[in-house]
Structure formats: C-alpha cells, structure tokens
Amino acid sequence: MRIAQVAPLFERVPPVTYGGTERVVAYLTDALVELGHDVTLFASGDSLTRARLVSAAPQSLRLDTTLRDTMAPQIRELELVSRMAHRFDVIHFHTGFLHLPLARHLAPPSVTTMHGRLDSDELTPLMNDFSDAPFVSISNHQRRPYPSQNWCATVYHGLPPRLLPCRETPEQYLAFVGRISPEKRVDRAIEIARRAGMELRIAAKIDAADKEYFEREIAQLMDQPHVRYLGEIGEEDKAVLLGGARALLFPIDWPEPFGMVVIEALSCGTPVLAWPDGSVPELLEPGVTGWIVDSIDAAVEALRQVDAIDRSVCRAAFEKRFTAERMARDYVAVYKRLQDASRVRLEARTA
C-alpha cells in the first residue's frame, strides 16, 4: 500500500528525548516499511526515518528558538499533504484535530489516531461536527467520552523488540519516567519509595506550564536522600534505567490514554506498579506483569512481593501484545477496511 503518515511538528520523529506521539509515529512508520509498504512521512526536517520524508519545517518546533509563529509550519504541512494526496492509498493523521476540515475533501481515505485525552467538555461540539470522521483509539478507555463516535479500532502502541532488551537481574532501585506534572504524581512515587526504603531514580521533563507546580510542590521533595533526579533521558539511557529497576512506578491521577512507559518497562522485563486510571487495566495483568493499587499503603505492600514477578513473563507479555510489528499489522487492517469502504462508496456513486 502507498501510505502517508502525518506527524506533529513539535518534536522530531523520533524525538530526541520526551515525546510520545512522535515516538509512536517513528516506530509505526519504520515497521510499515519493514512490512514492504511504500510509506511517506510528513514530519520536521530533522526526523530520522526509513520512509520518504517530506518536511514543512527544517527542525522540530520545540527546538527552533528562532520561530515566532508555530501555526504557519503546521498549516504548510497540511497544504503539502493536500498537494500530494493523490499519490496515496490512505492517509494516517496524528495531528489532533487540526487536519479534520481538510481530510473530508481528500480523495483517498484517511484516519486519525487520537493520542491525547478526550474527556474535556470543549471537545463535545467538535466531535459532534466530525462524527463521520474515522478515528482510532489507543485504548478502549480513551474512547469512553464518545462511545458512538466513528471508531475504526483500538490499536495499542508498540515498540521495536530490540529497542529495550530484557534484563534478568535488576538493581535495588525503583524508577519513575515521564513528566513532572500534577497528573503524573511523582510525589506519590517519592513517598512510596521512601516508605519502602528504596532509592527512586526519576527521569522526567518539566514543561514550562508545570514549572510553577514543580517549584511549589516537588522541588523540596527532590532533596530527600533516597531521590535521584536524572532529567530528560534518551533511548539508550532509558534502557539502562528501566532495565535496572526493580519496578516502574506509574502512580497516575488522570485518565491516561495509553502510557508508553508501561510497555517500555515490560520490554525490559521490569514489572509495573500503577494506579487503576485510564488504560492501565488494559495493559497490566495484576500479579503477572505488575500490580494495580489505589493507595500508597497498598503500593508499599505490593513492592514487598516484587521478587514474585517473573521478569521473563513481563518480556513475553510485551512480545505478544506490544511490538511495533503487531501495531503496524493492526493499522494495515484498518487501512484496508477504509480502502474497501471507499471503493464501495465510489462504485455506488458511479452507478
């Protein structure tokens, strides 16, 4: 198939450090190429891909300190997609809602993967206006606010199997990976590790929007002797951090649409201790690949059983459910259904 992948421009594909959506696009694009498809990636010019790259900006918008108008390159990216649309059998958008008015007028079928939360009231009129647009959810929980939307499938994220290898013998520390923000609850992670008497290594970014929260609520917690803050880290460092951890702490307090770090930990053979919000119950099997708890006391108690989790079983669960190839094959099935439906509509109009 001739497939277009349209990525956001804020991070390169894949991102240098943090960036969930762009990372998924990178893994999906390369896996589709590996399966033999003709893939074009619309992304920032500094992206690294096995596909044909078309860029509307020379580098990721977040890293371009000279850029004053971030909307202009995003609109230009959609214009490039429109000009080249006739070359594709299907167009796959990862750009939120920005492209939806355009997608209705493109000749080839298109689909949108929603990568963020959908439980805000202001989205309701928009989702109603585009009730016919084909969407893919990244978890079943993500689609709950709009169960009657035109959902084509739920496709879980996937990783290349060699990216984060399994490590059978961990060290004596816990890990927290992600963002330092109110909904990620790094404060819970710090308290869990303190009560469990274990070191906590934190690899996380601090967005400008969360800087005040960090300085007000979290900075003083970082001064405790059991806490080690690593900042943002790349893939190689992530493999070392997650592979060496006794467990990943994922004590979220929001409806997490997916939770990429959960499957990254499982790829390393590392069990996950998480709160039961959002997609978590879809990703973890309690007592097998980790624990799902709802209090700090329960989390500390669960950590006493950490050695009961077989790290090879965590890795096997990853290989069965969360590889990039599995993700790519699931999306190809979606593309083919869209292509067949488009062909039927065209034949009906012709008749």
Tens digits of residue pLDDT in 278-337: 999 999 999 999 999 999 999 999 999 998 999 999 999 999 999 999 999 999 999 999
**What is the percent of the chain where pLDDT is above 90?**
88
- Whether 19 is covered by a domain: the verdict is yes
Same domain, yes or no: 99 and 183: no
Residue 163 lies in a domain: no
Task: Read off the tokens for 186.
Answer: 């790094």
Distance CA 280, CA 292 (A): 8
The whole-angstrom separation of Cα 116 and Cα 257 is 6
In a domain, 168, yes or no: no
Q: Is the pLDDT of residue 76 over 70?
A: yes
CB-based contact 33:44 (threshold 8 Å) = no
Residue 86 belongs to some domain of the structure: yes
pTM for the model: 0.93
On whether the CB atoms of residues 42 and 80 are closer than 8 A, the answer is yes
12 occurs within a structural domain = yes
- Report the distance separating Cα 253 and Cα 275, nearest Å: 8
- Residue 274: which H helix or E strand, with range? strand 272-274
Is residue 139 located within the same domain as residue 259? Answer: no
Q: In whole angstroms, what is the distance from residue 270 CA to residue 253 CA?
A: 22
26 and 109 in a single domain? The answer is yes
Query: Is 88 found in the same domain as 125?
Result: yes
Does residue 79 share a domain with residue 227? no
Q: What is the CATH number of the domain that holds 278?
A: 3.40.50.2000
Banded model confidence at residue 65, pLDDT cuts 50, 70, 90: confident
Q: How many C-beta neighbours within 10 Å does residue 2 have?
A: 13
- Look at residue 117 and tell me if it is in a domain: yes
pLDDT tens digits, one per residue of 233-275: 887 899 999 999 999 999 999 999 999 999 999 999 999 999 9
DSSP assignment letter at 174: E
Q: Torsions phi, psi of 109, nearest 5?
A: -65, 155
Given this model, what pLDDT does residue 347 score? 67
- Indicate if 328 and 256 belong to the same structural domain: no
CB 37 within 8 A of CB 51: no
Strand partners, 5: 41, 92
Per-residue pLDDT for 85 more than 70? yes
Asked if residue 207 and residue 64 are part of one domain, the reply reads no
Q: Does 276 share its domain with 255? A: yes
Tell whether omega for the bond before 165 is within 30 degrees of 0, i.e. cis.
no
Clarify whether residues 14 and 142 are in a common domain: yes
For residues 19 and 154, state if they share a domain: yes
pLDDT of residue 67: 87
Task: Tell me what pLDDT residue 200 has.
Answer: 98
Could you report the per-residue pLDDT of 149-203, keeping only the tens digit for each?
999 999 999 999 999 999 999 999 999 999 999 999 999 999 999 999 999 999 9
Question: How many independent structural domains does the chain possess?
Answer: 2
Q: What is the pLDDT of residues 111-152, one digit of tens each?
A: 999 999 999 889 999 999 999 999 999 999 999 999 999 999
**Domain boundaries, position 129:** 2-158+323-350
Residue 164 belongs to some domain of the structure: no
pLDDT band of residue 351 (cuts 50, 70, 90) is: low
In a shared domain, residues 178 and 317:
yes
Q: How far apart are CA 149 and CA 132, in angstroms?
A: 8
Which residues lie closer than 8 Å to 209 by C-beta, 6 or more apart? Answer: 181
The number of residues making up the chain comes to: 351
Residues 262 and 293 in one domain: yes
Q: Is 202 among the domain residues?
A: yes
